Amino acid sequence: MLNRFMNGDFFNFKSSQSQKDHPVLQDKIKHYLKETGRRHPVLKDQSLPSILRYKALQIVTAPFIYLCFLPTLAMDLIITLYQKVCFPLYGIPLVTRSDYVIIDRHKLKYLNLSKKINCVYCGYFTGVISYAQEVAGRSEQYWCPVKHAAKMKNTHNRYINFFDYGDAKGYQEGFINIRKFNDQPDTKKNQPDPQTERWTQTSSYPPATRRESTTRRRAN
**199 in the same domain as 160:** yes
**62 in the same domain as 117:** yes
**107 in the same domain as 77:** yes
Domain final residue, candidates 81, 110, 143:
143
What's residue 80's pLDDT? 98
Give me the number of domains the chain comprises: 3
Question: What are the residue ranges in the chain where pLDDT is below 70?
Answer: 1-55, 183-220
| Residue 123: exposure state from Cβ atoms within 10 A (0-12, 13-18, ≥19) | middle
Domain final residue, candidates 143, 176, 202:
143
**199 in the same domain as 137:** no
Cα 29 to Cα 19: distance, rounded to the nearest angstrom: 12
What's residue 144's pLDDT? 96
**215 in the same domain as 157:** yes
**63 in the same domain as 139:** yes
**133 in the same domain as 86:** yes
What's residue 203's pLDDT? 40
Cα 157 to Cα 207: distance, rounded to the nearest angstrom: 19
What's residue 8's pLDDT? 44
**137 in the same domain as 65:** yes
Per the structure, the complete domain to which residue 117 belongs is given by: 45-143
Give 137's contacts (C-beta < 8 A, 6+ positions apart).
Answer: 156, 157, 158, 159
The answer to whether 183 touches 199, Cβ cutoff 8 Å, is no
What's residue 213's pLDDT? 46
Cα 220 to Cα 216: distance, rounded to the nearest angstrom: 6
What's residue 138's pLDDT? 97
**66 in the same domain as 36:** no
Domain final residue, candidates 143, 178, 195:
143
First and final C-alpha spacing in the chain: 70
Cα 102 to Cα 129: distance, rounded to the nearest angstrom: 12
**75 in the same domain as 133:** yes
Q: Say what the pTM is.
A: 0.62
**166 in the same domain as 210:** yes
**73 in the same domain as 105:** yes
What's residue 96's pLDDT? 96
